[in-house]
Structure 1
C-alpha cells in the first residue's frame, strides 16, 4: 500500500518524484552526448533516413516504419545536423523509459521506495544508458511500449475508455517505431480477457467486446497515421492505394536472408549475454574509444533469478502483480522465437532487459522484510559495475587498441 502520510508530504507524491527521476536521467544522458562526433553503428542507416524525412525528399530505409526516424528528423531540424542533434531525441526517450519503469513498479507495488529502486536499476542497467545516447529505433520503441503498458495497467484501477484508448495509441506508436512491438497488442488483449474473467472488479464499466475492438482499432489507426509525412515526399510519395501494399514491401525487406554478421547471436543466448555488441571500437579524434552494448551483469543475470522467484511466488500466492513482470520478460523474449529474422543481435534484447529491472524491483519489494537492507548493497554492486564499465559505455579515451581486454571477461565478448 502507498504511504498513508503521502498526502501531507507533496514532495513524495509519485507524479512529482517520477518527473524528477525523468529530469535527473535526462541530465545524465546529455553529458558528453556529442562524443563521438561521428555516426555510430546503425546511425549510419537511420541518420540518412531521418534527413530524408526532414527534407521530405523521398523514401529511405523502408524496411522499418517511420515514427522513430521522424522523431530523429525533428531533433535534426530543431537542434542541427550534428552529433548533439542526432541523439537528443533519444535522450528524451531514454528518460521517458526510466520514468516508465518508476511508474510501472509503483502501479505494481504502490511503494515509492520500490519505484525508485526500479528506476535506479534501469539507469544502472547499462543498456538504457547506451541506447539513450545513440540515434537508433529501439530506444523509441521501448519508451512508447513501456508507457503503453503503464497506461493500460493504470486503466485497470481507474477504468475508462479514454485511458484504454491512450494505452492502445501508445502501443500503436511503439509499433510505428519498429514492428517488434506489434505482438504486445495481442498480449494486452489476452491479459485483459484473462484478468477480466478471473477478477470481475477489474475495468468495471468497460464492455469486453468494445475494449478489444478499441485496442485493435486505435493501435492500428495510430500506426497508420504516422505514415502521413510520406504522402508529401517530393520523390515517390506514398498514396492511400499504396499504403497497404507498402507494408508488404516492408515485410519482404524485414524477412530477407542477410549475410552473416560478426556480432550475430541467437535469441536464447541473450539472457546470458553471450555475444554483446561493440557499437564503436576505433580511434576517433586521434584517441581510441569504445561504446559497448552490454548489460550490467548484476542486473541482467540477477534479473533472471528475480523472474524465477516471481514465478515461484505467484504459484504460492496467485498474485497477478507478481506474475506480470515475469510474464513481460518471458513474452518479450519468446517473440523472437516466432519472428522470421535471418539474423539476431543482442540489442534486440533491449526491452527484455528493461522488464528485468521491473522484475527485480518487484521481487526486492515482495521480500523486503527478509532482505532487510540487502537491496541497498545490491544497488551498490550495480553502481560499482557501472563505474567499472563506464569508459566503454560512453566512449571515454582508452589507453590503446588493446584496452578492451580489461572488460571482456569471456572470449565471446571480444
Structure 2
C-alpha cells in the first residue's frame, strides 16, 4: 500500500509540473466562479433588505450584486498590480545542479584551463550546513591545504565568497566535505586580473562547473535568498528532493506551495518567489468582490482594493518567499465565505447553508496547514457563527416558526465536519512529504507519530522563543507603523543604498486606526452587523498577539490589514452616504494619496538603489526605528 501511495504522489507531482499553466488557469477560474457566480441575479437584489422580520438597528443585508463592470474593474486593478509586483522580483535563472557530498571525506576536483594564480573564489551554497576543506595542486598529485570553506545555515541558496589568501600556480582545486549530505552548487574562480577563470569538473565536480554563465556580477537579493527564505525555500526544495526538512517550526503546506513555484520555474529567485506574488495578486479580485458585496459601491470597491494592493506590507511580504502570504490569502477567503453564510436570510434551510460553510472551513483548513496564526482567525469565525445561530434562534422565537432544534443539530453537525474534520484531514495530509523523507507509510502509525511529534516541537519552539532581534517589535508598534522589519540593506561607496523591509503605508495604517475605532462605535451604538463582522475579524488576528511574550515582528500584523482595508472601506461608505459626491471624491483623493505614498517609498519597498540623503531625509518618519 505504501508503494502504491508513494507512486501516486510522484505521479501527481509530475502531472502538476506538466500541466502547470492549466492548473493556474483552473485556480483563477475557480475563484472567479465562486466570487462572481450569479452576478446578474445578485445585482437585481442590490440594496434590498431581508424579507424576513428584522430587529431594530439590524444591519443585516443581502450581499450587493456584481456585474460585468465590476469584473472589468477588478481585472484592471489586478492586472496593473501584477505588472508592478512581478517587476524586478528576481532572476529567472540560477545554478540548479548540485554536487552532493553524501559522506564526510567525499571530494570533488575542479580543473583550470591553464595554471594561474587565484585571487577570489565564489560558490553557490546548496541545502545543508557544514564545511569543506580546500586544497590546490599544480599537477594533480601533490596537494596543498588552503583552508576551510564554510557553508552555514544562513548561507543556504546564496552566493558567497570564500575567505582565502592568493593561491599561486593552481591547476587543480579539490573540495572535500567535512560534513555529511552536503549540497554545493556552482563554483567560480577569478584570476589575478579579476576575470573569471575557465574551469571544468571531474566526476562529482562536473556539477560545480556546468553553469558558469550563472555566475553573477555581484551578490544581491535578485540572485540569492534573503531573510527567512533561507529556511522556507530550503525546506521547499527539501520536500521536492524527499529530504527531511530543516524548517519544522510551521506546518508544511506553505512550503509545499513554494515548492510548486520552484517545480515550474526552477530553483531561482523568480521561481521560489513566484507563488507568493501570484497569491498576492489573487487576493485583489477577492478583496474587490468582498468590498462590493459589503457596500454596493463600485468606487468604494476600487478604492479599498487599490489601497490594500499597494499597501507596503502586502506588496513587500508577497514578494518574499515565506509562508505568511498563503496564511493571509486563506484568511481572506475563509472570512469572505463566512460573510456569505452570515448574511443569508434567517429562514434559509440548513441544507442551503452548506456551500459557504464548506468553503469557509476548507480555506480555514488550508490556512491552518500553512501557519498556525490562521487558527486565531478561526476563533473569529466561531464567534460569527455563534452570533448567526443566536439571530436564527431569535427569529424562530419572534415568528413562532418550529424546527429550530432540527436546524441547529444539522448545522452543528455540518460545522463539525467542515471546521474540524475537514481541516484536520488537510492538516495531516500536508505532512506527506515528511513521511516520504522518512520512508514511512503514508497514514501509518509512524506517519501519525511524525505529525504528533512535530506539533509538540512547534508548540515548545514558539512558547520558548526568547532570542533577541534588532528589528523585532510589539503589537502596539504595528498599529502605529512605528517599527518596520528590515529585510535587506546594502550600502555603496557613492552614497547610495539598496534596502527594503516590511511595514505599512502610514496613510492607510494610521487612518485605519480611526476606521477601527469607528467600527467599535458603529457596532455598539448603531448595532451595525457589518462593523461588528469587520471588528471580529480584526481583533481575532490582533488580540492574541497582545498576550504573546515571545519575539514578534511587524509582519505578524499582515493578516489584520485585510480587515483594516474593510474598515477603511466602511468609512468611505459612511462618508459618501453623508456627503454624497463630495464624499466619493474624498475617497478617490485618499486613494490617490496612498498611491503617491507608494511611489515615494518605492525604493525601500523594492531595493531600488537610491541616495542615502533621500531615504534618510524623506523616508525615515520615525527617527531611530525606521532603518532605511
TM-score (norm 2): 0.61
2:528 aligns with 319
Given candidates 431, 434, 451, the residue that maps to 1:230 is 434
Whether contact under 8 Å (1:288, 1:401) holds in the other structure is no
Deviation at 1:268, TM superposition (A): 2.3
Alpha-carbon distance in structure 2 between the residues aligned to 1:9 and 1:55:
45
2:550 aligns with 342
Whether contact under 8 Å (1:290, 1:393) holds in the other structure is yes
Given candidates 391, 394, 416, the residue that maps to 1:198 is 391
1:351 aligns with 559
The 1:5–1:82 alpha-carbon spacing in structure 2 relative to 1, beyond 3 Å, is: same
Whether contact under 8 Å (1:3, 1:111) holds in the other structure is no
Deviation at 1:376, TM superposition (A): 1.3
1:101 matched to 2:304: no
Given candidates 258, 261, 274, the residue that maps to 2:466 is 258
Given candidates 179, 182, 185, the residue that maps to 2:378 is 185
The 1:146–1:372 alpha-carbon spacing in structure 2 relative to 1, beyond 3 Å, is: closer
Deviation at 1:314, TM superposition (A): 2.5
Whether contact under 8 Å (2:261, 2:272) holds in the other structure is yes
Whether contact under 8 Å (2:45, 2:65) holds in the other structure is yes
Deviation at 1:132, TM superposition (A): 1.6
**Equivalences for residues 257-296 of structure 1 within 5 A:** 257-283=465-491, 288-296=497-505
2:130 aligns with none
Alpha-carbon distance in structure 2 between the residues aligned to 1:314 and 1:383:
30
Q: Which structure's CA Rg is the greater one?
A: 2
- Which of 308-317 and 115-124 deviates more? 308-317
**Equivalences for residues 25-174 of structure 1 within 5 A:** 25-34=81-90, 36-157=222-343, 159-174=352-367
Is the partner of 2:247 in helix, strand or coil?
coil
1:394 aligns with 606
Whether contact under 8 Å (2:338, 2:357) holds in the other structure is yes
1:219 aligns with 423
- Which of 24-33 and 302-311 deviates more? 24-33
1:208 aligns with 411
Alpha-carbon distance in structure 1 between the residues aligned to 2:310 and 2:242:
38
> Which one has more relative contact order, counting CA pairs under 8 Å at least 6 apart?
1
Relative to its length, the structure with more strand (as a share) is 2
Alpha-carbon distance in structure 1 between the residues aligned to 2:43 and 2:616:
47
- Which of 301-310 and 244-253 deviates more? 244-253
TM-score (norm 1): 0.90
Per-residue displacement from partner, 1:133-174 (whole Å, max 9, x unpaired)? 110111111001111111222233464323312211101111
Deviation at 1:4, TM superposition (A): 5.3
2:204 aligns with none
Per-residue displacement from partner, 1:323-344 (whole Å, max 9, x unpaired)? 22123222211021244x5201
Provide the aligned C-alpha RMSD in A. 2.9
Whether contact under 8 Å (1:100, 1:143) holds in the other structure is no
Given candidates 361, 365, 384, the residue that maps to 2:596 is 384
Whether contact under 8 Å (2:440, 2:447) holds in the other structure is no
- Which of 88-97 and 192-201 deviates more? 192-201
Deviation at 1:322, TM superposition (A): 1.9
Whether contact under 8 Å (1:258, 1:342) holds in the other structure is yes
Whether contact under 8 Å (1:168, 1:185) holds in the other structure is no
Relative to its length, the structure with more helix (as a share) is 1
For these two proteins, the number of residue pairs brought into alignment is: 411
The 1:336–1:52 alpha-carbon spacing in structure 2 relative to 1, beyond 3 Å, is: same
Alpha-carbon distance in structure 1 between the residues aligned to 2:447 and 2:65:
56
Where structure 2 has 5 or more consecutive residues not aligned to the other structure, the ranges are 1-41, 47-63, 91-220, 345-351, 397-403
Whether contact under 8 Å (1:59, 1:236) holds in the other structure is no
Deviation at 1:17, TM superposition (A): 4.4
**Equivalences for residues 398-413 of structure 1 within 5 A:** 398-400=610-612, 403-411=615-623, 412-413=625-626
Per-residue displacement from partner, 1:82-116 (whole Å, max 9, x unpaired)? 11101100011111222232222123223332222
**Equivalences for residues 359-374 of structure 1 within 5 A:** 359-369=567-577, 370=579, 371-374=583-586
Alpha-carbon distance in structure 2 between the residues aligned to 1:192 and 1:180:
19
2:196 aligns with none
Given candidates 68, 76, 79, the residue that maps to 1:11 is 68
The 1:248–1:122 alpha-carbon spacing in structure 2 relative to 1, beyond 3 Å, is: same
The 1:225–1:277 alpha-carbon spacing in structure 2 relative to 1, beyond 3 Å, is: same
Whether contact under 8 Å (1:279, 1:292) holds in the other structure is yes
Per-residue displacement from partner, 1:208-227 (whole Å, max 9, x unpaired)? 32243122222222222211
The 1:405–1:66 alpha-carbon spacing in structure 2 relative to 1, beyond 3 Å, is: farther
The 1:372–1:144 alpha-carbon spacing in structure 2 relative to 1, beyond 3 Å, is: closer
Alpha-carbon distance in structure 1 between the residues aligned to 2:513 and 2:601:
21
Per-residue displacement from partner, 1:11-58 (whole Å, max 9, x unpaired)? 2245x6445543433232111111632212111221111111111111
1:24 aligns with 80
Is the partner of 1:160 in helix, strand or coil?
helix
Alpha-carbon distance in structure 2 between the residues aligned to 1:60 and 1:46:
9
Whether contact under 8 Å (1:58, 1:230) holds in the other structure is yes
